[in-house]
Structure 1
């Protein structure tokens, strides 16, 4: 188990608002990490109590969600992780045809997985959406008296009636059976009745004739309840309105205001048939695109202490009268970050190089073109709102080019503030690289065809692995909307002569790339040495453990000319540059003197 403390809830007094509500969710894989965020947004939107989420996950989901919750920094929320690998053996022996695989059976193990001193928990599927305060559901535990240890909503489809098609043979169930998308579990009573032994014994007997489960844990829960109906508490169906084909969900409520939880438990999801489906869809989309930063708010009347919030302390210490206030604030801001927003599967090869870049919504169209020019791995940070993140998702999933590539790490950094945190984005992309070398580029630069293979060969030739060197990649630009991309150096030189191409920033910021020594480059056939000079900002290939970018430079100040000019006018850029140079001197001593200009 791993616990991530985001803030501390102090439970003094008897006020219901101080009671911590415990929620368990099984979450595995990249898609599940996106789905669970929408669920949690809906819970946070209505809640008035401190929350403790218990996430049973694989290593991928745990890594992603740990970072997400750490950067989200929601008040009065604690998150604990439990590695699915540790309990998979308890259910892996069960043949299961459900698409969720072994993870669809893990809810059966919660009495063993969760801490032994945790007495009760609400269990949720990732495809449910709340329409009310989760505290209302938590209060129902007071009704679970005597032998009642499991609270469930009746299944709203005819699945367990065995009437869906000819020879349909479901697992045994009480009447229509019960849906396990929302469960109340009295863990202590279940442990006392030896739950793990009970369900295993019944599952073994049923599997002799059933041979496999079709609905994963739900089949086994229902088989247990068929034999032990006295342990079931029948939850009102508003607590799990199941939107799938062949359901009777419309009989669950007379008014939409009666709804508590909507469960999208159909493979067709938002395309299910229901007379109120538009309302349900809008409810779901509201939370899907809702700005998660707004949910960081502290709870009122909770007698809780928001202890040790280092980010808030740093923000409070900044003088608002400082001319560089906005930039200093951006320097300490922690942006909510969802790493590996799409599936990433890649094992590095020898001398491997990852292209590192960042983008906002207005550069999204460059992704497909970059992929055509760079076959190797890419680590890219995307700066977007929650709504834009969904637009990106639809764009990516509709792109045959992008969907073919599993070696691209998409890291979603959610918008917060007025400035573009360019170096923050670069650092996120840089930190999430699993190759020995990185090509630090920008999204609107197209690598020459074959550059990936060339760089893998040259990094060892120039000794990049043994010495502190950087391989400078000469950069060029065009002012034309359309141009035939040069396929060779000879072609590139010809385009330069014709005026179709220019050395990068030749017209507006020649100092930025002049040390590349383009006249020498024209005639050289092998890599050559160049010297650093003031304001040199080349695109380079370096080892991945290169120092991080300084995050106080936001917008495009001191790394891109457009914003540098604006900052230079108001004087703030010079202040930040002097601070950076001073810190460089303190860190590296005399070696840093050459980086000071005569300004």
Structure 2
């Protein structure tokens, strides 16, 4: 037994040794929402071709750190490690350099890598975010072995005429060796760079050249080139196919003969996919392939590579093994523990908190078929919005094009769009809602659905109600009464009086009046018609109003997927936690008509689906009783009386 244990320990040590011996290190500077989106496409292209374990090193600002740390944690790609380094701590190293490049201070950060990265890291591949790989990155890593003893940096020649200084009259570039080198792809021999005093050397070079040049035009690239001009023996020139530059004024077509020779494509033109090149269709298709590629497929284990499983993936594996595959509701239970990839703040997001602590975020979730509601909601609600979108990689790109083309959406920066990537057979509605809820930045949230239009002025009215009802110091859920129209073209009521007359005329109805009155009956619409002050209502079975609560409210129960009981269970938990349900007398929202969702059709047509929903309800009741004791018995009684 002792020998067996010793052998397995030795095997584990050998596995770890092999893992680290094959480990490839990749560094990227990534700041802001757009670069965070671009870097995902780069990472997908690397993961698609790789056979080795990888360690990504990201120099990030706060925005990119939040986005990428959540993305990689939820992606759970085997044999991939990720480390983050705070760009703010490095800014002082380069902030003294005047720089005209659009990348700003982040365009100079690569100069700091010997300092930023761990001191025991000897080699690293450094990449810009606008790069696409067409081959295994291990081939590039292997070039380190071809370095002579003196070479410390590997680069591809610049494929534009920039450093030749003949692009326009009086064009004066920084000094460079011949055509100069492009820094979109760099092999950095960190250990040797530290040994020769790289930090001091590049600084002296920059200081000397800035006396006549006054500022950099191409950020770090100018300083790298000036350094190489003074020390040509230190550079190892890489074949041009390791960085085919598609910028303007390039001669990249002359640097390769066959498209099949290409290894790395660099979209370094401001025009990106609209560049002129005889093979641009091939390049564009390769890029779009990775842009829309299903990232879940990259979770597969590497062949012949011992997996360094994260604690999250180990937990998930253990939870899956505990499930009973013969259970009729196995698929539902599996869905509850599935980890979905999440890309927070997919688009630019800006929010400044208000001084009075009454701000409120509209929180909702949607999928591709509800996209047309976004513009209308933005017109009805001027406050911050947190939306979680359940989509595939390809659909997320469709959404991006839609948002960038919409005048309404592109001018709204206080909307946080969070992509939850599709996986599994059910719509994990409560998980998606929780992503939107957790990423609201305001003290209060308005929990609604995407197919409802809030009344004009609701944002301001709710903020006043929050103060008036002292929500900061009390446990209240403010109910916004829900109505619906069956007409696709509705002249939206401007006031409560107008809404009441439309109700009397039959243009509007109380929500779900025809099919599920219980869902909103406790709102007491008869009382609301004449109410002028907020009034309290009692919880009743199946009540599922849309409410305003403090952001620290309970989250949604993720066992409920698809159709049925996803909101009901949430309101029940609010009641169990003794929130008072208060109906607002001058607030309303209207449901707009749409085709039924796929999940409601499944619920109606599948007895198995309905059986499992009943099973999950019973288990939820039991959990509620355990959590809240005898106070939760009323829910069980109410359920049995239905």
Equivalents in 2 of 1:216, 1:532: separation in Å?
A: 62
Equivalents in 1 of 2:37, 2:310: separation in Å?
A: 28
Q: How does 1:50-449 map to 2 (within 5 A)?
A: 50-306=53-309, 308=311, 309=313, 310-349=315-354, 350=356, 351-449=358-456
Q: After superposition, what is the alpha-carbon deviation per residue over 1:446-483, rounded to whole angstroms, capped at 9, x for unaligned?
A: 00000000000001212222111110110001111111
Equivalents in 1 of 2:605, 2:75: separation in Å?
A: 31
1:145 Cα shift?
2.3
Q: After superposition, what is the alpha-carbon deviation per residue over 1:388-428, rounded to whole angstroms, capped at 9, x for unaligned?
A: 10111111111111111111110011111121111011100
2:626 maps to which residue? 586
Q: Is the 8 A contact 1:17 1:49 kept in 2?
A: no
1:10 Cα shift?
7.0
Equivalents in 1 of 2:362, 2:33: separation in Å?
A: 22
2:583 maps to which residue? none
Q: Is the 8 A contact 2:25 2:54 kept in 1?
A: yes
Does residue 557 (structure 1) correspond to residue 567 (structure 2)? The answer is no
Query: Which 10-residue stretch deviates more, 537-546 or 11-20?
Result: 11-20
Q: Give the secondary structure class of the aligned counterpart of 2:625.
A: helix
1:494 maps to which residue? 501
2:575 maps to which residue? none
Q: Is the 8 A contact 1:359 1:382 kept in 2?
A: yes
Q: Is the 8 A contact 2:125 2:187 kept in 1?
A: yes
Q: Give the secondary structure class of the aligned counterpart of 2:537.
A: coil
Q: Is the 8 A contact 1:17 1:301 kept in 2?
A: no
Aligned-residue RMSD, C-alpha:
1.6
Q: Is the 8 A contact 1:18 1:303 kept in 2?
A: no
1:384 Cα shift?
0.6
Q: Give the secondary structure class of the aligned counterpart of 1:345.
A: coil
Change (3 A) 1:10 1:43: farther
Equivalents in 1 of 2:349, 2:459: separation in Å?
A: 19
Query: Which 10-residue stretch deviates more, 396-405 or 76-85?
Result: 396-405
Q: Is the 8 A contact 1:11 1:304 kept in 2?
A: no
Q: How does 1:514-553 map to 2 (within 5 A)?
A: 514-553=521-560
Normalising by structure 2, report the TM-score.
Answer: 0.90
Structure 1 runs (4+) deviating above 3 angstroms are: 9-18, 559-570
Q: Is the 8 A contact 1:24 1:121 kept in 2?
A: yes
Does residue 598 (structure 1) correspond to residue 640 (structure 2)? The answer is yes
Equivalents in 2 of 1:11, 1:40: separation in Å?
A: 28
Q: Which runs of 5+ in 1 are unaligned?
A: 1-8
Change (3 A) 1:415 1:311: same
Equivalents in 2 of 1:521, 1:72: separation in Å?
A: 47
Change (3 A) 1:11 1:276: farther
Q: Is the 8 A contact 1:239 1:260 kept in 2?
A: yes
Q: Is the 8 A contact 1:122 1:182 kept in 2?
A: yes
Q: Give the secondary structure class of the aligned counterpart of 1:238.
A: helix
Equivalents in 1 of 2:86, 2:488: separation in Å?
A: 51
1:343 Cα shift?
1.1
Q: After superposition, what is the alpha-carbon deviation per residue over 1:334-373, rounded to whole angstroms, capped at 9, x for unaligned?
A: 1100001111111222311110000000000100000010
Q: Is the 8 A contact 2:74 2:340 kept in 1?
A: yes
1:158 Cα shift?
0.3
1:567 Cα shift?
6.6
Change (3 A) 1:402 1:529: same
Normalising by structure 1, report the TM-score.
Answer: 0.96
The match for 1:462 among 462, 469, 494 is 469
Q: After superposition, what is the alpha-carbon deviation per residue over 1:540-591, rounded to whole angstroms, capped at 9, x for unaligned?
A: 0000000000011111221479466557763111100011111111111112
Query: Which 10-residue stretch deviates more, 458-467 or 27-36?
Result: 458-467
Q: Is the 8 A contact 1:567 1:573 kept in 2?
A: no
Equivalents in 2 of 1:57, 1:550: separation in Å?
A: 33
Equivalents in 1 of 2:633, 2:337: separation in Å?
A: 27
Equivalents in 2 of 1:290, 1:133: separation in Å?
A: 17
Query: Which 10-residue stretch deviates more, 342-351 or 41-50?
Result: 342-351
1:577 maps to which residue? 617
Q: How does 1:33-48 map to 2 (within 5 A)?
A: 33-48=36-51
2:24 maps to which residue? 21
Aligned residues: 591
Change (3 A) 1:388 1:114: same
Q: Give the secondary structure class of the aligned counterpart of 1:571.
A: helix
Q: Give the secondary structure class of the aligned counterpart of 1:179.
A: strand
Equivalents in 1 of 2:119, 2:13: separation in Å?
A: 21
1:598 Cα shift?
1.4
Q: Give the secondary structure class of the aligned counterpart of 1:470.
A: strand
Change (3 A) 1:420 1:189: same
